[in-house]
Amino acid sequence: MTDAVRTLISKAMADVPDVQPAEAFAPSNIALSKYWGKRDKARNLPLNSSISISLGDLGSHTSVALSPTDKDEVTLDGETLDPDSAFAARTLGFVDMFRGDKHLPLLVQTRNTIPTAAGLASSASGFAALTQALCAAFDLSLSGTDMSRIARLGSGSATRSLWHGFVKWSKGEAEDGSDSHGIKLDHRWDNLRIAIIPVDKGIKPQSSRDGMNHSARTSPLFPTWPAQAEKDCAFIETAILERNFDALGPRVEANALAMHATMIAARPPLAYLTEKSWSVLANLWNARDNGLSAFATMDAGPNVKLVFEENSTSDVLSVFPEAQVISPFSDHAQAPS
């Protein structure tokens, strides 16, 4: 745990614990300008800033309560997990930041509303919801910014899941990470749409954490990435502020492809995109040649997401009938705001 975060949650660690049952929701997010590479692995500090759009009601509901037994219990989508499983171990490691070495067995239940068929990662929404639920359970009244700093230690992309809408994760400069957190952009773009094109829900070849470390360590293309990604992030932020889709779309796609290029050039290569992902991209590019205004972004997995404006929805669906279309600014009914 970093000193900055230790200070934030010292009350939870110091007081005789009186854990209240608590529940929280956090949305998933898709980076329009990607985070890929760390300057400090222990503090989970990024090499470059990133910007995301949250996915409305698609995310994680997490509850925290005292365990009815003498043992920790972690459930995911209603199923009790082996405490040694990767998910349970990472969850309990995070919980330990709050309870320290006190004997305080907890029941932590997570339910994801991201369709399993889409095979999308949920560590961002999971750690953001877990942070909020733990803060409520331990009666810590913290700002979204402070919770974003804490969530960062669970997963970098979780810094951006504390809010709906556009969120920027400023890479920050401080060694202790105190200025590396999500910042909600107060700009709406009501007719912006995201489509998820499900490709494969299979297990990734490598976790994104391992993948980014491998790319940074071995890819001869990686050294140019952080500076270019920082420029992309600034460009995309301006395109959002100006609501300029002609600027936004191409840069979102170029940024994602540049990130994947660093992985493909890694030694040995790392390919999250499968033949089917490339086939989706080929269809998209062909449709674009015929006038479609939609652009792709891909994360550490094979699924493709599209960014477009509302007036392109029917054209997107005619090319990709399997697409799940999300309206990020209207598809949510609950906190966070």
- Interface with ligand 2P0 includes 237 (CB under 6 A)? no
Q: Could you give the string, one character per residue 188-217, with x where binding to ligand 2P0 holds by CB under 6 A and - elsewhere?
A: --------------------xx--------
- Interface with ligand 2P0 includes 44 (CB under 6 A)? yes
Q: Which is nearer to ligand 2P0, 107 or 167 (CB)?
A: 167
Q: Which is nearer to ligand 2P0, 63 or 155 (CB)?
A: 155
Phi, psi of 170 (to 5 degrees): -75, 130
- Give the nearest distance from C-beta 200 to ligand 2P0 in angstroms: 16
- Name the E strands within the chain: 22-33, 38-40, 45-46, 50-66, 73-76, 79-80, 106-112, 166-169, 182-184, 192-197, 294-298, 304-309, 324-326
For residue 170, the surrounding DSSP H or E stretch is none
Q: Which is nearer to ligand 2P0, 63 or 180 (CB)?
A: 180
Token pair of 63, please?
Answer: 């509850």
Q: Which of residues 154-183 bind ligand 2P0 (CB under 6 A)?
A: 155-157
Helix/strand number for the chain, H first, E second: 10, 13
- CA distances from residue 151 to 129, 148, 228 in whole angstroms, order as listed: 9, 5, 26
Q: Which is nearer to ligand 2P0, 19 or 195 (CB)?
A: 195
Q: Which is nearer to ligand 2P0, 134 or 292 (CB)?
A: 134
User: Shortest Cβ contact with ligand 2P0: which residue?
Assistant: 156
Q: Which residues pair with 74 in a beta bridge?
A: 108
- Interface with ligand 2P0 includes 59 (CB under 6 A)? no
Question: CB within 8 A of 152, min separation 6: which ones?
Answer: 43, 44, 45, 158, 159, 177, 180, 181
Is residue 230 a contact partner of residue 224, using CB atoms and an 8 Å limit?
no
- Interface with ligand 2P0 includes 262 (CB under 6 A)? no
Contact with ligand 2P0 (CB under 6 A) among 5, 147, 299, 308: 299
- Interface with ligand 2P0 includes 62 (CB under 6 A)? no
**For the chain, what is the radius of gyration of the CA atoms?**
20
Residues in the interface with ligand 2P0 (CB under 6 A) total: 14
- Interface with ligand 2P0 includes 300 (CB under 6 A)? yes
Q: Could you give the string, one character per residue 111-130, with x where binding to ligand 2P0 holds by CB under 6 A and - elsewhere?
A: ------------x-------
User: Could you give the CA distance from residue 45 to residue 280 in angstroms, rounded to a whole number?
Assistant: 33
The answer for 67, left when phi > 0, alpha when psi is -120 to 50, beta otherwise, is beta
- Give the nearest distance from C-beta 40 to ligand 2P0 in angstroms: 11
Q: Which stretch binds ligand 2P0 (CB under 6 A): 33-41, 74-82, 244-252, 303-311?
A: 33-41
- Give the nearest distance from C-beta 159 to ligand 2P0 in angstroms: 8
For residue 281, the surrounding DSSP H or E stretch is helix 275-289
Contact with ligand 2P0 (CB under 6 A) among 5, 19, 24, 31: 31
The site for ligand 2P0 (CB under 6 A) is made up of 31, 34-36, 44, 50, 123, 155-157, 208-209, 299-300
